[in-house]
Structure 1
Amino acid sequence: MSAGHSHDHGAADAAGPGDHRTKLWIAFGITAGIVVAQAIGALLTGSLALLTDTAHALTDASGLLIALIAANLMMLPADPQRTWGFRRIEVIAALGQSTLLLVVGIYAAVEGIKRLFSPPEVPATELLIFGVIGLLANVAAIVVLSSSRGANFNMRAAFLEVLADALGSLGVIIAAIVMATTGFLQADAIAGLFIASLIVPRAIKIMRETTAILMEFTPQDLDLSEVREHIMGIEHVLDVHDLHASTVATGLPTISAHIVLADECFADSHAPKILRDIQNCVEHHFPISITHSTFQLETQSASEAESPAIRHE
């Protein structure tokens, strides 16, 4: 038996975590300032919309702090005890952020429904002022993070947090204008529900995606049945089993399998060429380019001798 491992260093470097810490520090500083300003505004006005947006901003600031910690850990090199380094910390950080967002969203929804039936008096002018402050600050944070929003899960979660918070501040502003011009006090509760409607679906989406990675589900856009079919189409390949694919972190999919070859491939040294063909197949023939691949080449007799308990077709 023989095994092969493919690791394209150029591709791996390109898929590296990248250093986005400066942008995260700036966004964190802006968001922390928003929390202080809006907390003061929520105490002065008693507004649910502003209180919810403050809680959202606090969650964002916490999330950005987690993102900063994750960004620092992601830059640490791999070692024999941590063979992937801390690359997966971005996934854990995004899952933590989305969980916090979900809690805030559910609270805002419950409190908003209550206030629809019993709206408190809210000073519209003060509410408008704090809403504008929050919106301007969030727009500044969006500008800082926008160019790196697609870099990894960590940065995407951070960007989406400040984007949703900006929309929340816009909701606060609209509620203040409606209350000032019409006296419709339920506008504050409706704005709170609007913010909740922004938070909950986004939080669930990120939770679903990050959980799929932690559970080592097959990467999106990769059909393992198609992968198996392609490998089986290579000459002298008799079988493919124990085929697994997962994602370590953003831009880092991996695949492994046991490949059964005809016995003569090992006798005439043809096996290494087949291995290169398989590695080339998974790197270039599918929507996701997989440069981290590990394949164990087996003779048919060796494959049949494997324990059924550990063999997975």
Structure 2
Amino acid sequence: MSHSHSHGHSHNDLKGRNLLISIFLNITITVAQVIGGLISGSLSLLSDALHNFSDVISLVVSYIADLYSKKEASLTKTFGYKRAEIIAAFVNALSLILVAIYLIYEAVERFLDPQTIESTIVIWLALLGIVANGFSVLLLKKDSKENMNMRSAYLHLLTDMSASVAVLIGGLLMKYYGWFWVDSVLTVLIAIYLIVMGWDLFKQSFKVLMLYTPDHLNIEEISAKICNISEIKNVHHVHVWQLNEKEIHLEAHIVIEQDVTISQFDDISETVEALLFHDYKINHVTLQPEWNKDDVKDIIVQD
């Protein structure tokens, strides 16, 4: 059986620091908006505070996941905690969607029974949310491009900043035009935005946790390319999955044309590994050689 993996480890210590800064900023925003929302009577401000509170939870989860993901593998945890960040992304995406549904419910009730709102408080606290969340977004932007966990935290903060912009606009409309119904409308719009942003991340993280084949890979095409190698007759029992965002695994049974030695099979397996890494960025390959073995030769077999 051949087994190889070629992947690097690069951890940016600034990532954890940036998450901590964002956590403290969001705690500050949440406390200020809850107090301001209760005093002003603004549901959109309270909904933004609730969203900020969900951000605090999601950022704490992301921070813990980031710490755990750096822990070494052991005899009882052979993959280490590499999936911690995927679980964090899944939890954060789900929380976004659930918070959004609750906000829509509250907004509909408030729309049916509109109330006078102290708009000046809303305006100033919305500005606070824009500045603080904008700073947090800048801190996490770079890491969000390479890491699903950081992307989930980044999306929480980006949607929160967008929500604060909407609340600010609503506050100005309420202050100068007396349109208090805008508060409920903005809350619904913020919630819809949360659902849209959260759903895509939810699907991505769910697929990784369920060991789905990555969307950009076609198992039939991969198997055909492996079979083009002259020494290989058949490829079956193929599994392709992601351990995390940086590691794609493939395991398969391969039927060899002739009864080869172990050293000859090593040469064959190295050819397969080079092909998979070069063409598909699959960096962790496990191959089981077969010759004249009587088993099912379908590409996909339920083990």
TM tier relative to shorter chain: over 0.9
Map of 2:278 onto structure 1: 284
Residue 165, structure 1, aligned to residue 160, structure 2: yes
Map of 1:108 onto structure 2: 103
Query: Identity across aligned pairs (percent)?
Result: 28
Question: Secondary structure at the residue paired with 1:270?
Answer: helix
- Contact persistence 1:128–1:172 (CA under 8 A): yes
Map of 1:248 onto structure 2: 243
Correspondent of 1:295 among 273, 278, 287: 287
Map of 1:217 onto structure 2: 212
Residue 187, structure 1, aligned to residue 185, structure 2: no
Deviates more, 1:55-64 or 1:100-109: 100-109
Map of 2:150 onto structure 1: 155
Change (3 A) 1:105 1:271: same
- Separation (CA, whole Å) in 2 of partners of 1:80 and 1:115: 56
**Aligned-pair CA distance for 1:115:** 2.4
**Aligned-pair CA distance for 1:187:** 0.7
Q: Specify the code of the residue in structure 1 equivalent to 2:60.
A: L
RMSD, aligned CA = 1.9
- Contact persistence 1:18–1:151 (CA under 8 A): no
TM-score by length of 2: 0.94
**Aligned-pair CA distance for 1:97:** 1.2
TM-score by length of 1: 0.91
Residue 4, structure 1, aligned to residue 2, structure 2: yes
Map of 1:233 onto structure 2: 228
Structure 1 moving runs of 4+ over 4 Å = 305-308, 310-313
- Separation (CA, whole Å) in 2 of partners of 1:297 and 1:311: 16
Q: Which whole-Å deviations, capped at 9, do the CAs of 1:272-293 have from their partners, x for residues lacking one?
A: 221111111110012xx11111
Q: Which whole-Å deviations, capped at 9, do the CAs of 1:222-272 have from their partners, x for residues lacking one?
A: 1111101100111021111110011111211111100001124x1595322
- Contact persistence 1:12–1:291 (CA under 8 A): no
**Aligned-pair CA distance for 1:114:** 2.6
Correspondent of 2:88 among 93, 101, 108: 93
Map of 2:76 onto structure 1: 81
Map of 1:58 onto structure 2: 53
Residue 272, structure 1, aligned to residue 266, structure 2: yes
Question: Secondary structure at the residue paired with 1:295?
Answer: strand
- Contact persistence 2:93–2:201 (CA under 8 A): yes
- Contact persistence 2:236–2:297 (CA under 8 A): no
- Separation (CA, whole Å) in 1 of partners of 2:121 and 2:70: 44
Change (3 A) 1:243 1:231: same
- Contact persistence 1:17–1:152 (CA under 8 A): no
Q: Which runs of 5+ in 1 are unaligned?
A: none
Change (3 A) 1:236 1:195: same
